[in-house]
Structure 1
Amino acid sequence: MTTADFPANLHGIIPPVVTPLTPDFQVDEASLRRVIKHLLDGGVHGLFLLGSTSEVVFMDAPQRREVLRIAVDEVAGRVPLLAGVIDPTTDRVIAHARDAREAGVDGLVVTAPFYARTSQAEIVEHFRAVHEAVGLPIMAYDIPVCVGIKLERPTLRRMREEGLIVGLKDSSGDDTNFRLLARECADDPEFRLFTGSELMVDTALMVGAHGCVPGLGNVDPAAYVALYDAAQREDWRAARQVQERLIRLFAVALQGTPRTSAGASGVGGFKAAMRLLNLITHHHMNRPNLPLNDQEMERVRAILEAEELLVHA
């Protein structure tokens, strides 16, 4: 797929790109370029920059612009680029969206506003304001665990019918709702549905998802692409086999708990694995989140060895 097809044919595996950091908590350009090359070599169909796995809410505007600059340059139009423009208020989101448009991305990813409580009607106004101010295609991002409110199906239907959004990344964990949404959108083939659950990709594809946005895809993108390809062939047995291996590999995301929060353990586990695979130089997290310690790193190493991503020393 070329960027000219965006968004009507957006599909497949679109990992949320980890943001490598230097010891002084700045964007590590050399490591980020290695990560992007690793993802492209793995055959991914697009990249999602500045999402939750990217630690976007910890990053100021200059750091976000730096990530976009590096990624746009490194990708050079080979796959579509989505940029998360995630912030608590509409005007801040618009400012980030304008930066993303200037950088040259293909589309935006927008959550509901957060911290201040909003209604579903206010969420629609939020998306409408971003759409009118910037004009790029918008993927809605349903992640109630982080923003405190769900994008309800009637809200998504209204925004879809008004042309405010072109798709959804569903990280709600509500598989029943996702299935109902897929059935509802079956008569709208241009609306793109993606699951953010890297452990249920085969199921989501079976019920109508167009792809997945897997954080674990930073570690093993080729496996997620193989899963997607098997689903496209309707070889559900092969898809299940790949999925079950990825469930085992996902254990890297659990090794930081209970010392760190679940979210920090997840991204921290991905970063630990990526450091062991020589994709990134450091596995720092943005403060106050803690990186995995030496004992946790060794447990991640054992998982990578067991799943044949790392040769036993």
Structure 2
Amino acid sequence: MSLPAPLTGVVPPLCTPLTPAGEVDTRSLTVLVERLIGAGVSALFALGSSGEAAYMGDRRRRTVLQAVIEAADGRVPVLAGVIDMTTERVLDHARTAAELGADGIVATAPFYTRTHPVEIADHFRRLRDGAGLPLFAYDIPIAVHSKLTPAIVLPLAADGTLAGVKDSSGDDGALRRLLVEVRRRGLAGSFSVLTGSELAVDGALLAGAHGVVPGLANVDPAGFVRLYDHARAGRWEHAAAEQDRLAALFALTGAGDPALMGGSSSGLGGFKAALHLLGVIDCPATAAPQVPLGDAAVKTVRQVLVDGGLLP
């Protein structure tokens, strides 16, 4: 289906359910897609950070994307993460996404080697030309060690290279300044600024963000849709109340013991444990070498779901 410009609303970065053996569980993935669409999300983002794309080879990535596109069946647009280290590798993923019928692609700056802003801009232009799909830049400096500054992003927005940016930088001041410049340059009607935050969505929408790409929307998509709808209608007190509830729910990502596992294991494990407890996915396994949540952590996740009104 055609991708709206600008893209707005709630765009969950899908978790990728796995079997105990580490294969993609396409049945559970289809159930998850149906749940999110039923909650009223605007689009789906497959193979992002919440989808554990960094832990998957090409075969599993293809399986995930094909399953999501088939399950969505044209009801909402599907964005495909094409994240990899170099332009050549990213172009390979982008061409696969186009072949499978994705509606847009999402890419970071190149990583592993240090790249100059001129090289980053060239990277995005090659991706847009090579894939022939709307391209969203993924600003996640904690992972790729390059910040997508307004000096990089705005010229690419103006010349049509980028359809939007997903801001997962955690820098609310930088996001606000970008939004100001997008409006000042007359780009707000064609270029989407999407926040990747779970905790400050109401503030980002008040500042003019077009939408939100929250991993926690896998667990509570209806909550984020309500938050977005309240914000768009100017019901800011209701939006703030929903945001407060979701901020408390986000505690499930910290259930893992930091002495035993890293933040990725805890966060993604928390999402998947919640989806398993809610009966959405069959198995809460995360991709190797992430450490699985133990019984005590899963008990914590359950209590957070109860406190958040998602479990009795």
TM-score, normalization by structure 2: 0.97
Q: Verify: 1:78 aligned to 2:79, yes or no.
A: no
Residue aligning to 1:25? 22
Deviations for 1:39-71, whole angstroms, at most 9, x for unmatched residues?
A: 111111110000000000111111111111111
The C-alpha deviation readout for 1:108-133, integer Å capped at 9, x for no partner, is 00100111111111111111111111
How far apart are the structure 2 equivalents of 1:156 and 1:307? 37
Letter in 2 for 1:296: A
Q: CA deviation at 1:75?
A: 0.6
State how far apart, in whole Å, the 2-side matches of 1:235 and 1:25 are.
44
Q: Which amino acid counterpart does residue 279 of structure 1 have in structure 2?
A: V
Q: Aligned runs of 1:274-293 on 2, under 5 Å? A: 274-293=275-294
Q: Secondary structure at the match of 1:62?
A: helix
Q: How does 1:167-178 map to 2 (within 5 A)?
A: 167-178=164-175
2:260 counterpart of 1:263: no
Q: Which runs of 5+ in 2 are unaligned?
A: none
Corresponding residue pairs, total = 308
Q: Which residue number in structure 1 is paired with residue 87 of structure 2?
A: 90
In the alignment, residue 199 of structure 1 is paired with which amino acid? L
Whether the aligned pair in 1 keeps the contact of 2:257 and 2:297 (CA below 8 Å) is no
Q: How does 1:29-108 map to 2 (within 5 A)?
A: 29-108=26-105
Alpha carbons 1:25, 1:284 under 8 Å: kept: yes
How far apart, CA to CA, are the structure 1 residues paired with 2:249 and 2:145?
Answer: 29
CA shift at 1:176, angstroms?
A: 0.4
CA distance in structure 2 between the aligned counterparts of 1:46 and 1:241, rounded to whole angstroms: 24
Q: Where does residue 297 of structure 1 map in the other structure?
A: 298
SS in 2 for 1:116: coil
Alpha-carbon separation, structure 2, partners of 1:283 and 1:292: 9
Contact 1:7 1:166 survives alignment (8 Å): no
The CA deviation string for residues 2-49 of structure 1, in whole angstroms up to 9 with x for no partner, is x33x24141100000000001111100111011111111111111000
Aligned-CA RMSD value: 0.9
Partner residue, 1:250:
250
Structure-2 residue corresponding to 1:306: 307
- State the secondary structure of the residue aligned to 1:94: helix
Segments of structure 1 that go 5 or more residues without pairing to the other structure are: none
Give the letter for the 2:287 counterpart. Answer: N
Equivalent residue number for residue 181 of structure 1 = 178
3-state SS in 1 of match to 2:35 = helix
Q: Does the aligned pair in 2 maintain the 1:34–1:280 contact within 8 Å?
A: yes
Residue 111 of structure 1 corresponds to which residue in structure 2?
Answer: 108
1:164 deviation in Å? 1.1
C-alpha deviation, 1:204, in angstroms: 0.2
Distance 1:16 1:119 in 2: 28
d(CA) in 1 for partners of 2:306, 2:50: 23
Runs of 4+ that moved beyond 4 A: none
1:217: which partner in 2? 217
Match of 1:161 in 2: 158
- Do 1:137 and 1:165's aligned partners in 2 also have CA atoms closer than 8 Å? yes
Instruction: Report % sequence identity.
Output: 47
Q: Does 1:229 align with 2:229?
A: yes
1:125-140 maps to which residues of 2 (within 5 A)? 125-140=122-137
| SS in structure 2 at match of 1:264 | helix
